[in-house]
Structure formats: C-alpha cells, structure tokens
Amino acid sequence: MANVGFVGLGVMGSRMVKRLLDAGHKVTGYNRTKSKAQWLVDAGMQWGETPRAVAQAADVILSMVTNTAALAAVTGGPDGLLAGLAQGKLYIDMSTVSPAASRELAAKVAAKGAKMLDAPVSGSVSTLEEGKLSIMVGGERDACERARPILEAIGPKVTHVGPNGLAVSMKIATNLSLAVQMLAFSEGVLLAEKSGIPRETAVEVLLNSVIASPMVKYRGPFVLQMPEEVWFDVNMMQKDLLLALEMGRELDVPLPTTAITNEMLTAARGMGLEKKDFAVLFKVLAKMAGIEKK
C-alpha cells in the first residue's frame, strides 16, 4: 500500500480519496476549505495544513483543481506543493489545464529531482463511484507504471498516451464532445417536444436509441430533473471548451461545433446559470425555443 498525498478535495477529488482509502492506501489530504473534507478525515484521511505539508508527507502526490490558475496557486510559493517535493517523489496532476502550463510545471518538478505525470480522467461522479472511470497519462512510461496501482484504485482503465502534456491535450479533445453532445441531445428533445411528444417520452426514446453514448445516458435525464449536487458546472465546461478552441487555433484544426456550443455556454452565464451543471444548456435552448421550464 502506498503513502499518498492529495491536494484538491472537490466533487471528484474527494471521491477519489475515498476510493484510495477503501483500497488500503494511507492518504494525507489538503483542501482550501477544510470543513468540506471533514468527512474524509472521519474516514481515516490524515490532514495536511498546506500543499507543501502534503508533498512532504507522501511519496506519491496527486492534485485535482479547477483550472490553470488554481494549479499555479497550489504548486507555487513557500507553502506550495513544489516546495515539498524532493528526490524520488512522484507528482500526478489530474486537473484539466493548459497543456503548455502542465509541461512547464513538469520541468519545475524535474528540477526538484522528482517526476511528474499529467493524468486527467474521463467520466463523471457516477462513473467514478461505479469504478468505471478511465484515466489518460502523460509523462515517462516508467513513472506511469509506478503510478498504475494507485491510479487503478481510482479507475480501472489507465492509458499512457505519451510525454508530459499529451494526456491533458487528450482530455481537452475528449471533453469538448461532452458539451457538444449535450447540446445536440437537447435539440432532439425540444424538437420532439414541440411536435407534440411529451418530454419524458422523447428522453426515454433517445436514451434507448443509437445516439445514447455513456455521457448521454447519465446526463440526458438531467433535462427532466437537474441533480441537487452539481457535477460539472457551466464555468468549468466553458473553461475546457476555451482550452480546446485555443488548441484548435494553434494546430489549425477547425472546431465549428465546439465554437457554437461555447456561445451557448456564454448564453447560460448571461442568464445567471454559471453555477449549474452544464446540462442546463437544455434550459437555455428551451427558452430560445419558447418553451418554459416545467
């Protein structure tokens, strides 16, 4: 069993720590708001007062934060994670951030004598809790193999995709489809509804049709009832789409459906829905279609 550290105990990070604890690993964790992590302390997690303290206490350190700025905040400075790294430690960042920023951070980690992997995940709260999460890994292959037992405690599918930064690139390429699919699903539901088919019936048919991807199956029902706990809000999703559009410009890859969906997320923010799960795209489109929320 490994001596693990974890920085960032949000919706996904906290559940990852619970899986690590259940697998028998020793975990020291840090979160900006300690009260949100109390249930993990009660479950056996040790508390680190700073990201640096977490890095000093563990051999393998993981982090999962909201964006590039948040990653810089938890890794930099005298209390940051970098300050606690030393020769032989392994740092795994599971955040979805700028690939360039991830590579720059990997160079700083190497200067400390440690190794870094970028290891974002594909899936949601439900796939994580069901033990079906998939993880893509960027960095040295031997470091990936060292991390594999820990990562497999979080999700069963771990794929090495190449050098540092490429796993984040793969995650961005994956995540753009989440919002695009949600918007297309919403279009289908609303078209059926305005033609006279009950919304519930339209959802049932679509969720049992050829268009029902795993994402559509678990998020499609949100057009009938939004979850009490927000899994992935509008701001987070738009952050990922903006990263995708930036990559598209850099690599000369046109992303037309991503661009349109990004504008719909902007509309959601304009309607004050930025803290809602991005499935709220349905509400935005329904309003444009003249259908009030039930």
pLDDT for res 129: 85
Which tokens belong to 207? 């969720």
Find how far residue 181's CA is from the centre of its chain.
Answer: 17
Task: Round to whole Å and give the CA distance between 226 and 230.
Answer: 8
pTM of the model: 0.89
- 121-122 and 134-138 beta bridge pairing: antiparallel
pLDDT for res 55: 97
pLDDT for res 127: 82
pLDDT for res 293: 55
pLDDT for res 130: 85
User: Would you call 293 a catalytic residue per the annotation?
Assistant: no
Task: Round to whole Å and give the CA distance between 177 and 181.
Answer: 6
pLDDT for res 195: 97
- Using an 8 Å Cβ cutoff, are 135 and 108 in contact? no
pLDDT for res 166: 97
Q: Residues 217-238, buried b or exposed e (16+ Cβ, 10 A)?
A: ebbbbbbeebeeebbbbbbbbb
Question: Of residues 18, 89, 171, 283, which has the active-site annotation?
Answer: 171
- Quick one: CA dihedral 268, 269, 271, 277, positive or negative? positive
Average pLDDT, consecutive stretches of 10 residues, N- to C-terminus, the chain (294 residues): 93 94 96 92 96 97 95 96 97 96 97 97 84 93 96 95 97 96 97 97 97 92 89 93 97 98 98 95 96 66
Write the CB contacts of 143 (distance below 8 Å, at least 6 apart in sequence).
90, 115, 116, 117
